[in-house]
Structure formats: C-alpha cells, structure tokens
Structure 1
C-alpha cells in the first residue's frame, strides 16, 4: 500500500530505467513523497507505460494537469516514445526539447528529457545527462571529467558548464558476461571482488592494456592449480578490465580533475584504480543527483511557461 500525499505536488519527478521506476512528488525543490516499482522499461510495451506510472502517482493527482518530468530509458527507442539525442557540445539538459507522449489521462503532462550524442566517435547516452545536470547545479564552476560507472561506463568532458564530449566503455557488461557465462563462471560467479587483488591487476593493466585479454584464462588455471579464491578471481577480473579501460581513457583523466558518480561499491573500485594510477580522483554518490537534475529541468521549464 502507498500512503497518500496530504498536499498535491506542483510537479512529479520520474527516473525510469530498464529495471526500475522511481517517482517523487515535488513542491518546488521539496520532496513530499517518493515511491518505486519494478516496472522498468524492459518489462513494458509502449501501451504499458501510462498505467505503470498511474499505479504509483494516481492519488497525487487532483483535478488539474500536473507536469511530469521524466528521464532515463523511458525515452529509448523501445520505451514509451523515443526522445531525441542532442548533439554535443551542449548543456546537459534542454527541457524545451523534451518529447511529449500522448496520454489518456488529461491530468498528466509528461515531458521526457532528451539524451546526448556525438558523431565522431559515434556515441550516445540517456539518463546520465540528468545526473550531469544535477552535479553541475551543485558545482557550476567544475572543469574536468566526470566518470559515471555502471553496466556501461561514461567518461564525460565538462568545460564552462557544457558537455564537450564523452566516451562509453562496456566494462560492466563485459564483466557480467565473463563472470556468469564464460568458463570463468566456474571460478568467479557472483563473488565480490577482493580489493588487494583488484588493485594489483588494475595497476598491471593500466600500464599495459594487453594484460586484459592475456590474463583472463589464467584466472581459471590459478583456481585449479594455485587455490585462487572466487573473491580473488573477481578482484583480478575487475582489475584487468577496469585497468584496461583506464589505459584507453588516459587522455580523459590524465592531468584533469575527475569526479566519479555512481553506486558506492563500484565507484570505490574506479576511485582506487584512478588514485593508484596518479589521477586527481574524487568519489560522489549519484543517488541524489538524478533528482537534482530533474529539479533543474522543472525549474527551467517553469521559467519558460
């Protein structure tokens, strides 16, 4: 059961990912209530998005239209409706270019924020732009690189409040595939990485990216011959992959200030590897930044209407 909001919200913030839906009832920048469900983009057809949203917010709605500001995979090609990609360099958000899906309930005024793109090399991001906007709302003078680790890690160059460009590494997805579907599943499985093993392997791969492909099968052999534990194997696999990523991304973090934004456990691995490699790296929990970015978008939209 969800508890009703005593006072109706001015607007509703929505973070709609592949697996989760999170909503906040907002008055200005104040959170009145928040809820979530497992009805992410990946489990819905286009016709299912409005009912899934109403399941969480219907009792927040009165008899007038309420702006709904949404980010994330809800705007993907396989989402509710495809939102455009804005080409970089650009500001992280432009709510005036949000996409408006058709809705049956007239109380919903849904705005799906656009993602970002670049042509050379080809790349796109969707959802992270709102975290970036939330970070810049709190750190308007930041100059440097943002690292947003996850299934796909985004390295984003920031200057003068603009996203200059970015680069995506599929490191998290590659780790998941190797640890759960390759022969390494017999050694690693779902074990949590041992930090000492991680740092040793990341240092090796950060200076020699060839260590990553060359060092994969020895993890299985070491488990059979040398008693390598699952945690040590997970640490070495993470270190080899993230270290190789750091080697390829060196121009993005060398001699630049780097802020790592993401889930604490994964961000700590990147922070440890970057610091060990000599980077000026700082870690920040990304949980609150999505809401800060959505709030900035709502404020900009209000000023223009």
Structure 2
C-alpha cells in the first residue's frame, strides 16, 4: 500500500498512452504515473483494469477520478457526448464511467464539436480550460500543436470556433512512408532551412506538393543533408498551415500550448510573421484544466 493519499486523481488518457496524477484538494500534484496503454489498445472493459494497474496503490478509500481525452470517445471507456460551439471550454454534463471497484468514481470531460466546417476535439478543451483558469478574461487564439494541431478562437471564456490541421500526422507519414523517407533524417535540424521553408510555403502555399518533391531532388543533385531536409519538410508543412490559419491568428493575441520543441517551432514561425505568441507548457495546463473540472464537479 502506498503512502500517497490523494484527494482525487487527474487522468489524461489519449489514443496511445495515459498519464495520471495524484492530486491534493488544492490542486497540488503529489505523484505521477504513466501507462503505454492508450485508447487504441484497449477494449471498453480494459480501461478500469489498466487504471487500477497504474494507480491502484493510490486508492486508500473512496476517490474521484477526473479524466479527459480519447477515454471519452465512442471507442473509449464511456462516450462523453460532444458539446457544440460556442460553448464553455469545460462543457456541461461530465460522463460517469462504469467502474466495478467500490471506491472509484470516474468522470470524463466531454469533447467539443463544430457543425460547419465539421470539426471535433477531445482533450484540447481541457487544456484550453486550464489556460483560461490561469489567464482570466483572456481573448484571442490558442494554438495546440500536435499530431492534429488545433487553432481555437476563444472569447468571453467560450470556445467560439476552431480548426484542425493534420500537420503532425502528415510530417510522420511523408517522412516515413513516401519516397522522401530516403531523404529525411530521423533526427538533426537546421534552423535556417526551417525558417526559409516557412517563408516559402506562406508565400506560395499552392506549390507545397512541388516543393516537397524538390527535397528528394536536391538530395540527389545538390547533396541536401538529411537534417536540412527534415527541417525544410517541417517548415513547409507548418508554413502551409499558418497560411491557411491566417484568418484565425492575424491581429490576434496568440498562445501556443504543447510540448516544448514543437511549440517553439510554431512560436518562431509566427514571430517571423510579426505575430508574437506566448508559449505555454502542455502538462501543467492539462493539470490546471482537470483541476478546474474537479472544482466544478465538487461545487
């Protein structure tokens, strides 16, 4: 039995992994645990056993679990219906997940949907809520880089609209499963190559497909290094995304929430367009959002 006795447990359960934090009532993190069993690897009856395997030592009596992410999808532990924009970042109606353990009460935060253009999010709404909890009366645009990057217009503590870009997934697919796999290094970087590619893509986004193949040709003919090609591929894709998302971020207050290295690429690319952005660490904001959800649940 663990000495850790949380007042509640915060959980971020995505497609590929799960992170959990033992929490005090005041929102202090007491301990952290992780699992590599995400929604994509679990049947509905597998979520509770995996949660207990990961954090079971923390359960020393009745405890509330607040979860966000793909755990609330149709394929998750319980489906938490989407709330339609415009709506609060923490929508009403948390879903109660079925738990057999007598001391577990598990609540899942709903996602957010947009009818036109059609779009959905799960998990990002909790980060948005955490950011707003720490930045009262903030209006502007929040960028959440990742496999599927979100650009979210926030005003009066509500999500007004949002747009998703598959930039991260495109980078992984192109660099690993196309002819460019022969040209793109698995690691390494070139800041100048990235910056130039962002500028090129923003100036002529319609030439993206042609510029992508040029990475292969320049490697064959001009000895373009794999590290430079990697940076240019990232710059081309992020530049094309910024060009498409320009109606969102132009002239707005901007916050970028997520993992440090990837978020910094977006901050740097925006700065080159004279659009300064505030960079925010993703885990801390997720915990802040889950804490806001817990406080709402407890009234």
TM-score with structure 1 length normalisation? Answer: 0.95
Q: Shift of residue 189 of structure 1?
A: 4.2
From 45, 49, 52, the equivalent of 2:50 is 52
Instruction: Tell me if the contact between 1:9 and 1:25 (Cα under 8 Å) persists in the aligned partners.
Output: yes
Aligned partner of 2:251 in structure 1 is 255
Aligned partner of 1:75 in structure 2 is 72
Pair 44,122 (structure 1): closer, same or farther in 2 beyond 3 Å: same
Aligned partner of 1:160 in structure 2 is 156
Aligned partner of 1:121 in structure 2 is 117
Instruction: Tell me if the contact between 2:95 and 2:107 (Cα under 8 Å) persists in the aligned partners.
Output: yes
Matched, 1:213 2:204: no
- After superposition, the C-alpha distances for 1:123-172 in whole angstroms (9 at most, x for unaligned) are 00000001101100000121110000000000000111111110000011
Instruction: Tell me if the contact between 1:75 and 1:113 (Cα under 8 Å) persists in the aligned partners.
Output: yes
Instruction: Tell me if the contact between 1:206 and 1:277 (Cα under 8 Å) persists in the aligned partners.
Output: no
Instruction: Tell me if the contact between 1:98 and 1:113 (Cα under 8 Å) persists in the aligned partners.
Output: yes
Instruction: Tell me if the contact between 1:90 and 1:163 (Cα under 8 Å) persists in the aligned partners.
Output: yes
From 10, 19, 24, the equivalent of 2:7 is 10
Distance of 1:172 and 1:31 partners within structure 2: 30
Question: Root-mean-square deviation (CA), in Å?
Answer: 1.2
Aligned partner of 2:229 in structure 1 is 233
Matched, 1:175 2:171: yes
Aligned partner of 1:111 in structure 2 is 107
Aligned partner of 2:89 in structure 1 is 92
Distance of 1:60 and 1:215 partners within structure 2: 52
SS in 2 for 1:167: strand
- After superposition, the C-alpha distances for 1:192-242 in whole angstroms (9 at most, x for unaligned) are 432110100101111221131120111001001101001110111111111
Instruction: Tell me if the contact between 2:19 and 2:35 (Cα under 8 Å) persists in the aligned partners.
Output: yes
Instruction: Tell me if the contact between 1:5 and 1:33 (Cα under 8 Å) persists in the aligned partners.
Output: no
SS in 2 for 1:32: strand
List runs of 5+ in structure 1 lacking aligned partners: none
Distance of 1:212 and 1:131 partners within structure 2: 31
Instruction: Tell me if the contact between 2:185 and 2:229 (Cα under 8 Å) persists in the aligned partners.
Output: no
Map 1:226-305 → 2, pairs under 5 A: 226-303=222-299
List runs of 5+ in structure 2 lacking aligned partners: none
Distance of 2:125 and 2:47 partners within structure 1: 22
Distance of 2:281 and 2:30 partners within structure 1: 22
TM-score with structure 2 length normalisation? Answer: 0.97
Distance of 1:41 and 1:134 partners within structure 2: 23
| Structure 1 runs of 4+ with >3 Å offset | none
Instruction: Tell me if the contact between 1:83 and 1:112 (Cα under 8 Å) persists in the aligned partners.
Output: yes
How many residues get paired?
298
Q: Shift of residue 191 of structure 1?
A: 2.6
